[in-house]
Amino acid sequence: MNPPHRPRSHAGEHTTAGPPGRLRPLLHHDVPASFAIFLLAVPLSLGVAAATGAPLIAGLVATVAGGLVAGAFGGAPLQVSGAATGLTVVSAGLIAQYGFAATAMITLAAGGLQIVLGLLRAGRLALSLSPAVVHGMLAGIGLSIAIGQLLVVLGGHSTGSVRADLAALFAELGRSHLGSVLVGFVVVAVMLVWPTVPHAEYVPAPLAAVLAGTLLSTTLHLGVTTVDLPSDPLSGLVLPEVPDGTAGGVLLAVVTVALVASTESLLSAVAVDRLHDGRRADLDRELVAQGAANAVSGALGGLPISGGAVRGSANVAAGARTRASTVLHGLWVAVFVLTLAPLLELIPLAALAGVLLVVGLRLVAPGRIRTLWRHGELTVYVVTVLGVLVLGLVEGVLIGVAVAVLRSLYRLAHCSVRVQQEHDSWHVEVRGSLVFLGVGRLVRGLRRVPLGRHVVLELHVDFLDHAAFEAIDDWRAGYQRLGGHVEVDEVHDTWFSRAVLGTPALRKTEPSPLPRWFAPWSHWQSTRGSGRTDVRLPVQRDAEVDRMILGMSAFERHSAPLVRPFLADLAAHGQRPRQLFITCADSRVVPNLITSSGPGDLFCVRNIGNLVPRPDGGGRAGVDHSVGAAIEYAVEVLGVTTIVVCGHSDCGAMKALVTGSARRDSHLHSWLAHAEPSLIRFHEPTAPSCQDLPVAERLSVANVAQQLENLLAHPSVREAVNAGALTLVGTYFDISATRVYLVDPDRNGLEPVRV
């Protein structure tokens, strides 16, 4: 269950107010939060220490160092650090192999390595590790903890080895340890039920569970093993010693502790970041602070430290605003150990084991497993979990990383090859990244094409390495030697063409040429008889194939599958456009392109000069029924809410008006008579226009303004506008600048489009 979201302001930063201004939020938010996480940290610290076989005081030392050092200097102010839960199995193995004093020295050295990594700005690299490996590692650690602590609940002792713990677990099932089992059962039950209790968030579940187990044990005099601390807690500290072992083994231990602690801390910092709205974590600074805390903890005889998502989320949920809550929690733990240590000796070890049993199982998150399944990463997760359980943490993570890399290579190298016959030719469609790992699949697909046919090889690829290029080129040459004909049609990029010309691309690039629904035919089609070989040419049967036919063919192959769902819906339910778009017939003005619209969005009317003739004919211009009929249908039948008149630069109709070049007995001359009001508007001295534009462009702008006025002469438009159901908009498209402007009809001016 996620903790409640509590917004805060600028975590880890000082406000501009004086001391009284800083003291108020400290007392109201950070001090109460520090007590909440203090109550959570004590049982967790003791549980981790008990699970590893370290002196119990070592877990508390780690919590104090984590709070005072990592809390004061870390880059994630609301993250709470303490004895590393994720390193429980590793620490137990190191203590069993080298002893605790040597493990403390390994912790100190690992802290130094973390500081170096942080100074090298390696903190952000942790985010590059596959989430499947990270969560598989955490799940493996969680299951290892759960198995070991279940053994403790049954009255036994964890060995730190999953296989040995499993063997001992079956042996313990035949023995009678009713007291430990009863305490452990109660603690687990409280841990599971506590979040559902009203107002339970004020007392951490681990504290409530440990209190319940302790009260049960003391009340019924169950005689279970309890926490054992020296009368003088400081006398129980074990100072670090140089490990007695091979240099390689010790170095591997140092690197393992550093990497696991760093990964757990950085991932926890990112997780805690998502729970508040303050400043984001500085991962490199956090890594340096974690290293300093581990160095201090190891020097004082403490366990390895890491940031914990459980403690950090509890800190945010408790209302913490600054790093003061984290620092104070470490201070409270130190005071508690020095003054109230005898109270800790009442706690049964089975109670601490029950807490860690639940914490360990919660690291196996079903929601995360479902997410990884949907993303096809479950194999990596399962392999990592099994590797950690069977072989150990380092081995399991390395195996998981290897499987993740292999999965990535497969995905990157995977290509699909589809071969089908189209009339009297064959069509081979290849999609994906063509690298040497996929050459086998590619060649097998190409060899399925019968000899002596006309073949179009259609490439939808984002990368083509030398091996794949040679495979295609060799097959193409051999196929054509045997009487066939091959044309390579590159849809998204020209990888093959550039390789043929001796200038192959070396890395992935943005698709070029442009997608065909944007680019002109001349950009991706070739004409016969030019004397050059164009490997992007689609199938052509005649000496010259109409460009539109080629375009239609490309549409059916590439674009139709993408727009078919939208058109099928429109065919079933009819068109429902909300805009009538009136623009020029100029081939350079593409309404759907400049409005980023699709099928069913625009009801379009196109004519020379984007004119809207007045319904009364306007003098010698005469009556035009075509545009009027479209306007009436759009307003009265379709119920459009907007009518847009779009003019454009370099308009031939406006040039003809300015120069009077239209032949008097031509249809163009008769049509342009409808634009005479635009000329009158243009020459009015009280109607200034864009003086920095050429004459024809200024006339284009004035023409748009005039057509908006002409629209109001249509009764259906005027009634809809007066009723507030219709809006008239004028726009101007600058072709060379590829910019759209709004037209202000009051001053014949242009305004940029703003959202």
Q: Which residues pair with 455 in a beta bridge?
A: 426, 486
Judged by average pLDDT, the poorest of 18-27, 216-225, 357-366, 406-415 is 18-27
458 and 530, same domain (yes or no): yes
Percent pLDDT > 90 in the chain is: 31
607 and 545, same domain (yes or no): no
Neighbours of 629 (CB within 10 A): 11
Residue 39 has pLDDT above 70, yes or no: no
356 and 446, same domain (yes or no): no
With respect to residue 675, please indicate whether it lies within any of the assigned structural domains: yes
pLDDT tens digits, 68-80: 999 999 988 888 9
Asked whether 54 and 91 are in contact (CB, 8 A), the reply is yes
Q: Which domain holds residue 212?
A: 28-373
Residue 14 has pLDDT above 80, yes or no: no
80 and 153, same domain (yes or no): yes
| CA–CA gap between residue 106 and residue 250 (Å, rounded) | 8
pLDDT tens digits, 594-606: 998 989 999 999 9
pLDDT at 318: 63
Mean pLDDT of 584-596: 92
Residue 583 has pLDDT above 90, yes or no: yes
Counting the structural domains of the chain, the total is 3
HEC string of 93-149?
HHHHHHCHHHHHHHHHHHHHHHHHHHHCCCHHHHHHCCHHHHHHHHHHHHHHHHHHH
650 and 520, same domain (yes or no): no
- Of the residues 312, 346, 373, which one is the last residue of a structural domain? 373
With respect to residue 19, please indicate whether it lies within any of the assigned structural domains: no
Residue 209 has pLDDT above 50, yes or no: yes
With respect to residue 533, please indicate whether it lies within any of the assigned structural domains: yes
Residue 587 has pLDDT above 80, yes or no: yes
pLDDT at 3: 40
Residue 404 has pLDDT above 60, yes or no: yes
pLDDT at 526: 57
With respect to residue 203, please indicate whether it lies within any of the assigned structural domains: yes
Residue 115 has pLDDT above 90, yes or no: yes
pLDDT tens digits, 365-384: 788 888 888 888 889 999 98
Concatenated DSSP letters for 45-105? Answer: HHHHHHHHTS-HHHHHHHHHHIIIIIHHH-SSTT-EEEE-GGGHHHHHHHHHHH-HHHHHH
259 and 344, same domain (yes or no): yes
Buried b (16+ CB within 10 A) or exposed e, 404-433: beebeeeeebebebebeeeeeebbbbbbbb
Helix 31-52, helix 349-362: angle, nearest 10: 100
pLDDT at 16: 37
pLDDT tens digits, 425-480: 898 989 888 888 888 888 998 999 999 899 989 888 888 889 989 999 999 999 99
536 and 624, same domain (yes or no): no
Q: Which residues pair with 456 in a beta bridge?
A: 427, 487
Residue 111 has pLDDT above 80, yes or no: yes
pLDDT at 543: 41
CATH number at residue 670: 3.40.1050.10
Mean pLDDT of 686-709: 83
Q: Which residues pair with 642 in a beta bridge?
A: 579, 727
pLDDT at 511: 52
332 and 214, same domain (yes or no): yes
Kindly tell me the sign of the dihedral angle through the C-alpha atoms of 713, 719, 723, 726.
negative
pLDDT at 274: 64
pLDDT at 65: 94
What tokens appear for 629 in the block?
């009929």
User: Which comes out higher in pLDDT, residue 558 or 404?
Assistant: 404
116 and 263, same domain (yes or no): yes
Per the prediction, the chain carries an average pLDDT of 82
Concatenated DSSP letters for 350-415? Answer: HHHHHHHHHHHHHTS-HHHHHHHHHTT-HHHHHHHHHHHHHT-HHHHHHHHHHHHHHHHHHHHH-E
154 and 293, same domain (yes or no): yes
Q: Residue 7: which pLDDT band, with cuts at 50, 70 and 90?
A: very low
pLDDT tens digits, 279-317: 778 888 999 999 999 999 999 999 999 987 667 766 776
Residue 624 has pLDDT above 60, yes or no: yes
605 and 544, same domain (yes or no): no
User: Which comes out higher in pLDDT, residue 232 or 715?
Assistant: 715
With respect to residue 461, please indicate whether it lies within any of the assigned structural domains: yes
- Of the residues 343, 373, 403, which one is the last residue of a structural domain? 373
553 and 580, same domain (yes or no): no
pLDDT at 533: 37
pLDDT at 516: 63
| CA–CA gap between residue 659 and residue 668 (Å, rounded) | 14
With respect to residue 430, please indicate whether it lies within any of the assigned structural domains: yes
Neighbours of 563 (CB within 10 A): 14
| CA–CA gap between residue 105 and residue 601 (Å, rounded) | 70
With respect to residue 748, please indicate whether it lies within any of the assigned structural domains: yes
pTM (predicted TM-score): 0.58
Residue 235 has pLDDT above 90, yes or no: no
- Of the residues 341, 373, 405, which one is the last residue of a structural domain? 373
Q: Residue 160: which pLDDT band, with cuts at 50, 70 and 90?
A: low
pLDDT at 535: 39
Residue 145 has pLDDT above 80, yes or no: no
With respect to residue 389, please indicate whether it lies within any of the assigned structural domains: no
CATH number at residue 429: 3.30.750.24
